[in-house]
Structure 1
């Protein structure tokens, strides 16, 4: 979506009302290009001031600047590559190749030892991955908690135990809040595993263990850049299967 990069960068500044506004805009992107602030406020059940504050949080000078951005971005139309299916197939193939290199013994041992498992996503899409991972990991009968922002993470760290395990999920591993997250975890000497795309990044460097997955970004016909997170889901599904295999064979 057109706003995803801005939303991810400023995620910690946004409240539930802001996310509702963002969802409406992403769903009605072309209509919003010509909407007055009063019209958008009416559609999102917000005040004009709330809309203005929302645009400021995303780094715009105001609503007019925001509308100009929408118009410019939607006009930068890039065609969907003809080899997008081939690229997607290669992404899946690469993911399984990377997954073969993971130390599942280490990860499943950590899962077994953990009092509580915490999942944190550095943006909206990553948060969705964390929520789905929570559903999957509940099958191992552990306490699984999704953290929604850095402030929540810091609050949890004040009462976490050394046995707790943290998964930090990120696309690039380089978002602005990464140093704050890793510093907080390291200060508490808390074990954490990073899950990022395959490239050198700050999060992976700081993690106790890093998992790499493949994520292919391409452009839709309307110019929207789309990053697939299916490889992240495959990783957590694989972890659960490896955990249960070890239980069945008596090696865990």
Structure 2
């Protein structure tokens, strides 16, 4: 029987101190199972004897069994979360693959073929890695991309790029001030642009001639830090690369 079920079962025997302890547990489930009895009592502002009596009222042997129950329930919750995350992430990957397989990318490839130079910019660390990967895989078929990094280089690009070039911008949100400002300036010069962003309405996508979208999943790893999946970027560009080869072969 879970702890909340035990609390419900023996609710009539619990006093205000017991309910105070239970509320503390509910508010700190992610950490209280790590506490020693002294630490628990100190954080909860109750005596060790009060903690022991609380555990006994729930038909537990003592604090050690209470702590074991808390850890077990925490681990079970973590396992369920991991399974949910796994399912969500895999569905995200499968959907992207299906969407890219069906997508007609000819208009994107025509922009690439007509461009004198192709510049690519990634707005964050993950996006820069994507830009480098695009450069690497397309170089294998002698298609050159110029990866742009740094504010100075970005400012210079805005001045030298022409309507005969192509700009590819990789951004998560498509809303960062640096990206939007650069896209607006390039748009005013009629420089063709392709955006690669998260699947949602965003300023960068509106300013671009062609849009490629990914679905990302935000994972709450430790209740403090969020991890945003980046693999969809690499799935997208690899499928784009394969479709480009088919385009060149006339298939």
The alignment's TM-score, normalised by the length of structure 2, stands at 0.63
Alignment of structure 1 residues 143-162 onto 2, 5 Å? 143-162=144-163
Distance in 1, Cα, partners of 2:109 & 2:141: 10
The superposition leaves residues 135-186 of structure 1 with CA deviations (integer Å, 9 ceiling, x where unpaired) of 1121231221111134312312322342211111111111122321111211
Q: Given that residues 99 and 213 in structure 1 are in contact (C-alpha distance below 8 angstroms), is that contact kept between their aligned partners in structure 2?
A: no
Aligned-residue offset at 1:190: 0.3
Distance in 1, Cα, partners of 2:203 & 2:172: 12
Partner residue in 1 for 2:216: 215
Distance in 2, Cα, partners of 1:171 & 1:98: 18
Distance in 1, Cα, partners of 2:102 & 2:193: 18
Give the root-mean-square deviation of aligned CA atoms.
Answer: 2.1
Distance in 1, Cα, partners of 2:196 & 2:220: 24
The gaps in structure 1 that reach 5 residues or longer are 1-77
Q: Given that residues 98 and 213 in structure 1 are in contact (C-alpha distance below 8 angstroms), is that contact kept between their aligned partners in structure 2?
A: no
Partner residue in 2 for 1:229: 230
Alignment of structure 1 residues 59-98 onto 2, 5 Å? 81-82=81-82, 83-98=84-99
Partner residue in 2 for 1:188: 189
SS at match of 2:118: strand
Radius of gyration: which is bigger? 2
Aligned length: 173
SS at match of 2:147: strand
Distance in 1, Cα, partners of 2:195 & 2:137: 18
Which one has more relative contact order, counting CA pairs under 8 Å at least 6 apart? Answer: 1
Distance in 1, Cα, partners of 2:141 & 2:224: 41
Q: Given that residues 79 and 220 in structure 1 are in contact (C-alpha distance below 8 angstroms), is that contact kept between their aligned partners in structure 2?
A: no
The alignment's TM-score, normalised by the length of structure 1, stands at 0.63
The structure where helix makes up a greater share of residues is 2
Q: Does 1:99 find its partner at 2:94? A: no
Partner residue in 1 for 2:131: 130
